[in-house]
Structures are given as C-alpha cells and as structure tokens.
Amino acid sequence: MTSFYSARRAVLGVIVAVMDHERSDRRLCLLDVPSRILKRGEIHEVILTDEEPGEERVVNRAAYVGFVEVTQGGLVIPGDELLIRHNSAGRLLGFDDTHMPNHLNLVIKAQNIASGAKLGIHLDDPVEFVSVQ
C-alpha cells in the first residue's frame, strides 16, 4: 500500500487491561481503510493473529493481548510496528470495528501468537506504534 505521509510521529500508550484468551473462529473483519487516527485518552484492543486475510478481509485466529490507553495520539497505518515494552509484537495488519463506538480492534500480524497473559504483559507496560517507512 502506498503511503500519503512523508512523516508521522509514534503513537504511544500503556496497557490498561491484560487478556488471557485465544480463539480460532473469531471472524475479525478488517476495514478497507488506509489509516486510522488514535486520539489521546482513547482505549483500544490489541489482538494478535498469524493469518493473512483473504479476499473477504477476514481473520479467524486471534490471541487477545489486552487494552491500550493512548497517551500520545497520532495516525497509524497497516505495516506500522507495534512495540510492547520496547520489543516488537508484530506489524499492524488492520482494523476491526465490531465494538465501535466503544473501542477499535487493532489487529497485529505476528510470527507467533499468544494472549497477553501468556506473553507476560503487565498493566502499565509501554506500547508504541512506529512507522517502518
């Protein structure tokens, strides 16, 4: 996907809830959008998958990391790297709006997937979405 942006600042946040759940039949429907704004103070869910979406833009395998409160807002696009505790968790695959307006699901493509609890994620762990362009 071509980016329209010559520069973007990182989106920063902290973990506010850690999840311990995985499923293989989730049917996350990724939006056909090039970007999303994440505003300071918003809380969104982070979900890992090791799948590539098909033509229907659906992902079934999901490991739930937890919820992130945005402390520094900005713009994210698919392909951005997600860092948790300064370690790569994967790349942003897309967005699912099943639970909007409550929260957005941020779907992350990872090599290996596991829940936040199994990954050793803790409350207040720092989170960062960074451009890899």
d(CA 109, CA 47): 9
The pLDDT value given to residue 86: 96
pLDDT value for 56: 82
Kindly state the DSSP code that residue 116 receives in the 8-state scheme: H
Kindly state the helix (H) or strand (E) to which residue 35 belongs, with its residue range.
none
- Report the C-alpha gap between 93 and 80 in whole angstroms: 8
Q: What is the pLDDT of residue 5?
A: 87
The alpha carbon of residue 108 and the mean position of all alpha carbons in its chain are separated, in whole angstroms, by 5
At residue 4, the 3 state secondary structure works out as coil
How many Å apart are CA 115 and CA 46, to the nearest integer? 10
Kindly state the tokens that stand for 73: 């807002």
| Global confidence as pTM | 0.93
pLDDT in tens, the chain (133 residues): 557 888 999 999 999 999 999 999 988 999 989 999 999 999 999 999 999 887 788 999 999 999 999 999 999 999 999 999 999 999 999 999 999 999 999 999 999 999 999 999 999 999 999 998 6
